[in-house]
Amino acid sequence: MTTSVLEPVAERVTSRRLSKRAAASPSGAGIMVLRTLYALSALMIWGVVYALVFGGVQEARSQNVLYAQFRQQLAAGTAPAGGLIKPGKPVAILDIPRLGIHDVVVEGTAPSNLLLGPGHRADSPLPGEVGVSVVYGRGATFGAPFGRLVKLHPGDVIDVTDGVGVFHYTIDGVRKAGSPLPSPLPATGSRLTLASATGVGWRAVLAPSAPFYVDATLQGSALAEPGGRVASVPSSNKVMGVDGSAISSLVRWLQLLCVTTVGAAWLYTRWGRWQTWLVAVPTVGAALWVATETAFRLLPNLL
C-alpha cells in the first residue's frame, strides 16, 4: 500500500528533474550561437596577438632581410639616390640613438609598406636633399618602430644613411595635428619630418588615433634634389591612410580560410584527431595568417 502511494510521487519528482535539465540544456540553435560567439572571440584575440606579438616578429624578420639587402647595395654603390623608386625597396637607414632605433626605411607609406618598417613618402625628397623629407612609422602594431617618438626632445640627434651619404639632423620639436607648423626652410635647407600616431590612456598602446610629428633640421649642406619623384601620392599613402583595394584580396583569403577549415573538419571525421592536426594546422594557419595580414591593410597606416 505504501509503495503504491509513493510511486506516483517519485515519478513526478523525476519528471520535474528531467524537465529542469532539459530547460537548462541549450537547444541546437543555442549551441550554434555559442559556437559562433566563441569563434568570433577567438578571432578577435588572434587579431590582437598577431598585431602586437607575431606582427612584431614578422617586422623584425623583414628588417633583417632589408638590412642585408641595403648593406650590399651601399657597398656596391647601387642604393637608390632619388627619383622614382619601387615601393617596398629599402632607401635609407634611420638611427635615433636616444631611443635605440636602428631601422631600414622602405619606399612608400601605404599600410602594406609600413608592415615592413618605417616608410619614406614618395612625393618628398630623400633625406639629405633640399626640401622636407617625410618618413612614416607605425605607433602600436608590427613592432611599433615609431611608438616612442613622443619621448624625443629638441636637440636630440637623428642620423640617416642613404645612397648619397650620411646625414645628421637635430630635432626642433614634437608637434600634434593642428599645432603651428615649423618655420619655412631656406631655399637650400633640408628638414626631416617623422610621422606616427599616438593616443590617450589605453589608446596610446592598443589604438592610437591622433597623428603627431617630429621635425628635425639638417646640420650641414643639403644636396640638390635630382627630380623624377611622383608629384602626389594616393590617399592610402597619406597620414592615417587605409588601402581600400585590400578588400577584394581579403575576401579571397577568407574564402580560402573557410575552405581549409571545412576541409579540416571533414578530414577529422575520416582520419582521426592526430592525422588531421598534422595536415590542418599548417594549411589553416597559413590561410589565417595571410588573411589577417591583408585585413591590417584596411586599418590606418600609422596604427
| Per-residue tens of pLDDT for the chain, all 303 residues | 444 544 554 455 455 554 555 455 556 677 777 767 777 788 888 888 888 889 999 999 999 999 999 999 999 999 988 888 999 999 999 999 999 999 999 999 999 999 999 999 999 999 999 999 999 999 989 999 998 998 999 999 999 999 989 999 999 999 988 888 888 899 899 999 999 998 766 555 566 778 999 999 999 999 998 888 898 999 999 999 999 889 999 999 999 988 998 888 888 888 878 888 888 888 888 999 999 999 988 989 998
Strand-pair partners of 175: 213
Give the range of the structural domain holding residue 282, as residue numbers without chain letter. 246-298
Report if residue 56 sits inside a domain: yes
Provide the grid cell at 31: 549551441
* Residue 191 shares a structural domain with residue 261: no
1-29 burial, b at 16+ Cβ within 10 Å, e below that, comes to eeeeeeeeeeeeeeeeeeeeeeeeeeeee
Last residue of a domain, one of 212, 237, 262: 237
The CATH number that applies at residue 126 is: 2.40.260.10
Residue type (1 letter), 164: V
- Predicted confidence at residue 13, as pLDDT, reads 46
Residue in 216, 234, 213 with CA at minimum distance from that of residue 155:
216
* 207 and 84 belong to one structural domain: yes
CA distance 63 to 70: 10
For residues 118 and 200, membership in a common domain is answered with yes
Domain boundary among 210, 237, 264: 237
**Residue 94 Ramachandran class (φ > 0 left, ψ -120 to 50 alpha, else beta):** beta
227 and 146 both lie in a single domain: yes
* Residue 6 lies inside a defined structural domain of this protein: no
Domains of the chain: total:
2
Clarify whether residues 92 and 168 are in a common domain: yes
Kindly state whether residues 128 and 271 are assigned to the same domain.
no
Is residue 164 domain-shared with residue 264, that is, in the same domain? no
| Judgement on whether residues 173 and 271 belong to the same structural domain of the protein | no
**Is residue 33 situated within a structural domain?**
no
Distance CA 160, CA 102 (A): 10
Q: Are residues 61 and 185 in the same domain?
A: yes
Neighbouring C-beta atoms of residue 113, cutoff 10 Å: 25
In a domain, 110, yes or no: yes
Q: How far apart are CA 165 and CA 147, in angstroms?
A: 27
- Condensed to tens digits (0 to 9), the pLDDT of residues 122-173 reads 999 999 999 999 999 999 899 999 989 989 999 999 999 999 899 999 999 9
Q: Who contacts 235 (Cβ-Cβ below 8 Å, separation ≥6)?
A: 241
Q: Which of 190, 215, 237 is the last residue of a domain?
A: 237
pLDDT computed for residue 206 by the predictor? 60
158-172 in b/e form (b: 16+ CB < 10 A) is: bebbbbbeebebebb
pLDDT of residue 16: 57
| Bridge partner list, 216 | 171, 192
Distance from C-alpha of 88 to C-alpha of 110, rounded to nearest angstrom: 9
Structure confidence at residue 18 (pLDDT) = 46
Confirm whether 8 is domain-assigned.
no
In a domain, 34, yes or no: no
Report the 3 state secondary structure along the chain. CHHHHHHHHHHHHHHHHHHHHHHHCCCHHHHHHHHHHHHHHHHHHHHHHHHHHHHHHHHHHHHHHHHHHHHHHHHHCCCCCCCCCCCCCEEEEEEEHHHCEEEEEEECCCCCHHHCCCEECCCCCCCCECEEEEEECCCCCCCCCCCCHHHCCCCCEEEEEECCCEEEEEEEEEEECCCCCCCCCCCCCEEEEEEEEECCCCHHHHCCCEEEEEEEEECCCCECCCCCCCCCCCHHHCCCCCCCCHHHHHHHHHHHHHHHHHHHHHHHHHCCHHHHHHHHHHHHHHHHHHHHHHHHHHCCCCC
Let me know whether 96 and 66 are in one domain: yes
pLDDT in tens, 199-217: 766 555 566 778 999 999 9
The confidence score (pLDDT) of residue 189 equals: 93
134 in the same domain as 260: no
Shared-domain flag, residues 226 and 125: yes
pTM: 0.83
Distance CA 94, CA 135 (A): 10
Indicate whether 189 belongs to any domain: yes
What pLDDT is attached to residue 5? 47
Q: Determine, yes or no, domain membership for 7.
A: no
